[in-house]
Amino acid sequence: MQQEPKIVVIGSLNMDLVVKAPRAPKRGETILGEEIHFIPGGKGANQAIGLARLGAETTMIGAVGSDAFGAELQEALQRDGVNTSSIKVLAAQPTGVASILLAEGDNSIVVVPGANAQCLPEDLKRFEAKIAEADLVLLQLEIPLETVEYAAELARRYGKIVLLNPAPAQTLSRDLLSNVDYLTPNRSELALIAGVAEDTPLDQGIERVLELGVSTCITTLGAEGAAYRERGGRLLRVPGHKVPVVDTTGAGDAFNAGLAYALARSQDIREAVAFAGRVSALAVTKFGAQGGMPRLNEVAEYFREER
Ligand code: RIB
């Protein structure tokens, strides 16, 4: 039997404060909501849980406050078997919080980083051995950019696969992009990184990102699936899946967890993108960013007929 891959996630942990409302309020307006939930989230932690549920040996590097939210977020990771020994607990900073509004089938999010902003390059130096042992390092952009840049450089130095999910959107340096094997922007993130208008043909945006140094760019297209291109290759598409949607929060995190898992198991890019699409489709059928992350057998079961 193939050994499970070792994956290090370096990223954010947030308490998600989720409000369900019939619609989004207009500017300056107050409306009545329907429900409120406090649930563990944060792009880094969501992806770590997604990976652990699929079976990867997962370590999370990040930072929380020494408050009740921080303890709850770490417990959630531990329940799913994520190694949390490299998570820094800070007395002087509150745990990150994401305020999420769910209305009319979509979500809008405001993140207050708190302790996530203190996940620093020096922490990676302390936990370098974890990176040295990993098969793949998975990154997002909810911690300081200098930490992401250092992480990609360090992982590249150790010859690890580097997967960067460039969310939330930011412009990125050529230095960082040249240390990235797989970049997974959505359409608007792609436009920002490539420096093109959002309605620029997909292939042109991807080509620009490849010119900036990324080896493979995989663009997520929501319900339409994903499109990817390797440097020197052509644009290929993997269709989406029709599923009953409950909550799209964390769909991108599920996609990245699925992709990282498949790539670290040496699957080829087409199969890895297809697998990531299945993981993400299944994730949106349940409430909560972490709540919907499926186990490996659930993915196989749900899509049995399709394969
Ligand atoms: O990708 C979804 C996540 O984005 C939420 O869990 C929230 O914490 C924000 O970071």
Closest CA to 232 of 244, 212, 215, 252: 215
CA 181/CA 123 separation, integer angstroms? 23
Specify the residue with its C-alpha closest to ligand 1, atom 6.
Answer: 41
CB count in 10 Å sphere of residue 14: 31
Q: How many CA atoms are closer than 13 Å to the CA of 85, on its beta-carbon side?
A: 6
Ligand 1 closest atom vs CA 14 = 8
Q: Is the pLDDT of residue 50 over 80?
A: yes
**H/E stretch holding 130:** helix 128-133
Domain boundaries, given as residue ranges, for the chain = 6-12+43-95+114-306
Ligand 1 closest atom vs CA 252 = 1
Q: What is the rounded average pLDDT of the residues 284-299?
A: 96
Under the banding of pLDDT at 50, 70 and 90, the label for residue 30 is: very high
What would the pLDDT profile of 241-269 be if each residue is shown by its tens digit?
Answer: 999 999 999 999 999 999 999 999 999 99
Look up the CATH number of domain 6-12+43-95+114-306. 3.40.1190.20
Task: Tell whether ligand 1 has an atom less than 6 A from the beta carbon of residue 147.
Answer: no
Write out the E strands in 165-258. 182-183, 216-220, 226-230, 236-238
Closest CA to 54 of 279, 230, 302, 307: 279
pLDDT at 307: 54
Ligand 1 closest atom vs CA 142 = 10
Q: What is the rounded average pLDDT of the residues 106-119?
A: 96
Q: Is residue 202 exposed (0-12), middle (13-18) or buried (19+ Cβ within 10 Å)?
A: middle
pLDDT at 106: 86
Match 């993981």 to its residue by tokens: 279
**Kind of pairing between the strands at 226-230 and 216-220:** antiparallel
Ligand 1 closest atom vs CA 167 = 1
Choose one of 69, 100, 255 to mutate for the ligand 1 pocket test, by most ligand atoms within 8 angstroms of C-beta.
100
Q: Is the pLDDT of residue 228 over 70?
A: yes
pTM of the complete model: 0.96
Q: Is the pLDDT of residue 67 over 70?
A: yes
CA 95–ligand 1 middle distance (angstroms):
14
Q: Is the pLDDT of residue 175 over 60?
A: yes
Mean pLDDT over all residues of the chain? 97
Task: Tell whether ligand 1 has an atom less than 6 A from the beta carbon of residue 257.
Answer: no
Task: Tell whether ligand 1 has an atom less than 6 A from the beta carbon of residue 41.
Answer: yes
- Which member of 106, 199, 253, 268 is catalytic? 253
Task: Tell whether ligand 1 has an atom less than 6 A from the beta carbon of residue 289.
Answer: yes
Under the banding of pLDDT at 50, 70 and 90, the label for residue 105 is: confident
Q: What percent of the chain has pLDDT over 90?
A: 97
Task: Tell whether ligand 1 has an atom less than 6 A from the beta carbon of residue 135.
Answer: no
pLDDT at 104: 92
**H/E stretch holding 288:** none
What would the pLDDT profile of 120-141 be if each residue is shown by its tens digit?
Answer: 999 999 999 999 999 999 999 9
Specify the residue with its C-alpha closest to ligand 1, atom 1.
Answer: 250
CB count in 10 Å sphere of residue 63: 26
Specify the residue with its C-alpha closest to ligand 1, atom 10.
Answer: 42
Whether 253 sits among the annotated catalytic residues: the reply is yes
CA 76/CA 39 separation, integer angstroms? 10
pLDDT at 132: 97
* Residues in Cβ contact with 79 at an 8 Å cutoff, skipping those fewer than 6 apart: none
Q: Is the pLDDT of residue 1 over 80?
A: no
Q: What is the rounded average pLDDT of the residues 7-20?
A: 98
Task: Tell whether ligand 1 has an atom less than 6 A from the beta carbon of residue 280.
Answer: no
Match 């992982």 to its residue by tokens: 155
Match 């297809």 to its residue by tokens: 274
Q: What is the rounded average pLDDT of the residues 208-213?
A: 97
Q: What percent of the chain has pLDDT over 70?
A: 99
Q: Is the pLDDT of residue 211 over 70?
A: yes
pLDDT at 51: 98
What would the pLDDT profile of 269-285 be if each residue is shown by its tens digit?
Answer: 999 999 999 999 999 99
CA 147–ligand 1 middle distance (angstroms):
19
Q: What is the rounded average pLDDT of the residues 201-224?
A: 97
Residue 119 has what DSSP assignment?
A: -
Q: What is the rounded average pLDDT of the residues 55-80?
A: 98
Under the banding of pLDDT at 50, 70 and 90, the label for residue 306 is: low
